[in-house]
Amino acid sequence: MFQMRKTVGRYTRWRCVVRTKNNYCRAWILQDGRHFYDGLPFHCHPSDPGNIAKVKVTVLAKKLACSEPHLPASAVARKALLEYRDEEHPPKLINVVRAVNRARQKMRTAKVNSA
């Protein structure tokens, strides 16, 4: 999984999101429009098979959190997890609840700053 790092002109540099103290991955790729080019350092860790499922569930939970602000975060997280219950490696409920709470916190901050 990659995170956007820097954009200069039409080029975008993406880096690996695995950046722990014991496993600091320096892998990166360069994007030029629809073309992607590998950087020199390769990944120094095995892939996480559940990453795609985690992203799908988290994105859905954040959308539900915005559209249904009256529901508790745990109910929103359960609803998102039920939508993707067939995934092989689903994320933990507590992590999805935290993502929902963070998304709602950003919404509240944006409303206060715009008022």
pLDDT grade for 102, boundaries at 50, 70 and 90: very high
pLDDT grade for 100, boundaries at 50, 70 and 90: very high
In the predicted structure, residue 115 carries a pLDDT above the cut 70: no
Max mean pLDDT among 36-40, 83-87, 94-98, 105-109 falls in 94-98
- What mean pLDDT value characterizes the chain? 88
Main-chain phi, psi angles of 112, to 5 degrees: -65, -40
Query: 52-58 — which CB contacts under 8 Å span 24+ positions?
Result: 53/84, 53/87, 53/88, 53/89, 53/90, 53/91, 54/89, 54/90, 54/91, 54/95, 55/1, 56/84, 56/87, 57/81, 57/83, 57/84, 57/87, 57/90, 57/91, 57/96, 58/91, 58/95, 58/96, 58/99
For residue range 38-93, list pLDDT tens digits in order.
Answer: 888 888 888 877 888 888 899 999 999 999 889 999 999 999 999 988 778 888 99
Please report, rounded to a whole number, the percentage of residues in the chain having pLDDT higher than 70: 99
